[in-house]
Chains A and B, each alone.
Chain A
Amino acid sequence: MFGQPTLINNVETFACVPAILRRGAEWFAAIGTERSKGTKVFALAGKVKHTGLIEVPMGMTLREIVEDMGGGVPDGGQIKAVQTGGPSGGCIPAAHLDTPVDYESLGRLGSIMGSGGMIVMDQQDNMVDVARFFMEFCRDESCGKCVPCRAGTVQMHDLLCRLLARQATARDLAKLEELCDLVRNTSLCGLGITAPNPVLSTLRFFRQEYLDLLAPEPWKPATPPAPSPASADTRPQPPHPASPWLPKSSPSTVRKSAPPKGRASSRPPTRRASASPPSATWRA
């Protein structure tokens, strides 16, 4: 800032500083696990008796946090999952409640420490709706600079709404997964890169809930129709004059051994399978 090196940390980091200054770095580092040291503040919310801000030593298990500190689900319900890390975090199913809360363990389960949100869900919560809720947040918070985050979150949110309305088919679910992959790998900043997390983590542990919401595809024949080459446009297409920066012929890769990959379209077989595969036209 003002041409000087600037370190901006969040309030939580600043809040740790006085205690460390007062009692020394060794004291702070003695708390927690080997790789994740100190304490962490969580905003415990959702289906627990005692909600609110809690500070726990790193490495405490999820079960201790939600059952002992949070008091478990009110009226004796069953915990189904715990969502950590805020909107771009992930859902951890009840089977993993004995996981210690530290950066590495959460990462292994596809979640993050993130902003320190911790939301407890019980059997009444539908995980697809949970994913939709967080996707809505990401969609609304996208700054709009890069295409995958700006437009991809809109489409992912719409797909989740269609699922919840029981209007989505297996193809839509495949599209959703394709979008997650796209948005995660092509977005410009952390918001877009992590925006698919709620979907990916609920898909990982609660795929059946997605499958249960799928609408049947009544029009779908038992086997996909074979592509009919007769209708495919195989004429060579001239490269457009206005775009000199695009490859016009074979892959212009600088890498020495570019393996000529199979040209088969990676898309799922669609009803429009009779159209020429995309790569065939532009490479012709």
Chain B
Amino acid sequence: MDVGACRLCLVEIAGSNKLVPACTTQVADGMVVATTSERLQRYRRLLLELLFAERNHVCAVCVSNGHCELQALATNLGMDHVSFPYTFPKLEVDLTHRLFGMDHNRCVLCGRCVRVCWYVEGAATKNFSGRGAGSRIISDLNQPWGESRTCTACGKCVHACPTGALFEKGTTVGEMQKDRGKLEYIVTAREKKQWIV
């Protein structure tokens, strides 16, 4: 269920000047792939900068500080500053759910929460709304999460989310550690009938 949306995994394939996303491209015999090059790393850094400038990421006060995939990518790629002006959108934080919170300021619109909610939990609570820079993750038909009648409060979206956008209530700065292992366990058990912890 890869979507090829973030473009961070773009790779070069010899003989083609089109960059392709590794996550959605099938390998073929004799394919010569370069996963790292000066150009690719530059593109990746720029893409990350765009993500950081798009919403309000203030790691120092974020629940995911230190356990965030976005932050980790930035560290690994040596993105030491953002060369684009921040757009500072005014975004909401939805704390209506009994157990979880959603902070749109940290969302990168990767859609993992939507996919896990539809295809692993089967609740179909999380959805996209809007388009372009106005895209938002919504619950049901854009209700407060707490009023959603489809949400089973399973927490799968929270643990699939790579950033501090979805979190468990009661966590404070740097405390929200995501447990992706649990999700992988469920999916391998279902798809391969293997119960590997």
Chain A nearest CB from B126 CB (Å) reads: 15
Known: A151-B50, A182-B47. A146 touches B32 (CB 8 A): no
State whether B69 touches A243 (Cβ < 8 A).
yes
Known: A253-B36, A275-B81. A139 touches B43 (CB 8 A): no
Q: Which residue of B lies closest to A152 (CB)?
A: B50
| Interface residue A141 (Cβ < 8 Å from any Cβ of B) | yes
> Dominant SS at the B interface?
loop
| Interface residue B42 (Cβ < 8 Å from any Cβ of A) | yes
Interface locus among A47-55, A69-77, A91-99, A184-192:
A184-192
Range class of the A interface residue count: 35 or more
| Interface residue A61 (Cβ < 8 Å from any Cβ of B) | no
Interface locus among B128-136, B147-155, B189-197:
B128-136
State whether B5 touches A281 (Cβ < 8 A).
no
Chain B nearest CB from A21 CB (Å) reads: 37
Chain A nearest CB from B164 CB (Å) reads: 13
Complex-state Cα separation, A25 to B79, whole angstroms: 57
Known: A186-B7, A188-B5. A255 touches B80 (CB 8 A): no
| Interface residue B159 (Cβ < 8 Å from any Cβ of A) | no
Interface locus among B82-90, B92-100, B116-124, B167-175:
B82-90
A-B pairs with CB below 8 Å: how many?
A: 141
Complex-state Cα separation, A182 to B42, whole angstroms: 9
Q: Which residue of B lies closest to A270 (CB)?
A: B83
Complex-state Cα separation, A179 to B34, whole angstroms: 22
| Interface residue B113 (Cβ < 8 Å from any Cβ of A) | no
Complex-state Cα separation, A267 to B132, whole angstroms: 28
Residues in A with CB closer than 8 Å to B69 are 242-243
> Dominant SS at the A interface?
loop
| Interface residue A4 (Cβ < 8 Å from any Cβ of B) | no
Known: A185-B19, A253-B34. A155 touches B79 (CB 8 A): no
Residues in A with CB closer than 8 Å to B71 are 240
State whether B72 touches A243 (Cβ < 8 A).
yes
Known: A188-B4, A253-B36, A258-B34. A281 touches B80 (CB 8 A): yes
- Indicate with 1 or 0, residue by residue over B1-40, a CB within 8 angstroms of chain A CB atoms: 0011111111000100001000000000000111111100
Q: Which residue of B lies closest to A283 (CB)?
A: B78
| Interface residue A225 (Cβ < 8 Å from any Cβ of B) | no
Residues in B with CB closer than 8 Å to A280 are 78
State whether A144 touches B87 (Cβ < 8 A).
no
Known: A144-B109, A151-B133. A240 touches B75 (CB 8 A): yes
Name A144-158 residues within 8 Å CB distance of B: 144-148, 150-155, 158
Complex-state Cα separation, A283 to B84, whole angstroms: 24
- Indicate with 1 or 0, residue by residue over A148-183, a CB within 8 angstroms of chain B CB atoms: 101111110010000000000000000100110010
- Indicate with 1 or 0, residue by residue over A235-269, a CB within 8 angstroms of chain B CB atoms: 00101111101111001111100100100001100
Complex-state Cα separation, A119 to B133, whole angstroms: 28
| Interface residue B187 (Cβ < 8 Å from any Cβ of A) | no
| Interface residue A126 (Cβ < 8 Å from any Cβ of B) | no
Partner of B43, one of A155, A186, A255: A186
Chain B nearest CB from A133 CB (Å) reads: 17
| Interface residue B106 (Cβ < 8 Å from any Cβ of A) | no
State whether A266 touches B3 (Cβ < 8 A).
no
Complex-state Cα separation, A144 to B134, whole angstroms: 8
Chain B nearest CB from A241 CB (Å) reads: 8
| Interface residue A282 (Cβ < 8 Å from any Cβ of B) | yes
State whether B5 touches A146 (Cβ < 8 A).
yes
Q: Which residue of B lies closest to A284 (CB)?
A: B78
| Interface residue A209 (Cβ < 8 Å from any Cβ of B) | no
Contacts beyond the supplied A186-B7, A246-B76: 9 A-B pairs with Cβ under 8 Å = A144-B134, A145-B5, A155-B84, A155-B85, A175-B84, A182-B43, A182-B47, A253-B35, A255-B32
Nearest 5 interchain pairs by C-beta = A144-B135, A240-B72, A278-B78, A151-B50, A282-B78
Binding site for B on A (CB under 8 A): 139-148, 150-155, 158, 175, 178-179, 182, 185-188, 237, 239-243, 245-248, 251-255, 258, 261, 266-267, 270, 272, 275-276, 278-283
Q: Could you write out 23 A-B pairs with CB less than 8 Å apart?
A: A144-B135, A147-B51, A175-B84, A182-B46, A186-B19, A186-B43, A240-B76, A243-B73, A246-B76, A247-B35, A248-B76, A253-B36, A254-B33, A254-B35, A255-B33, A255-B34, A258-B34, A267-B83, A276-B80, A278-B78, A279-B38, A282-B76, A283-B78
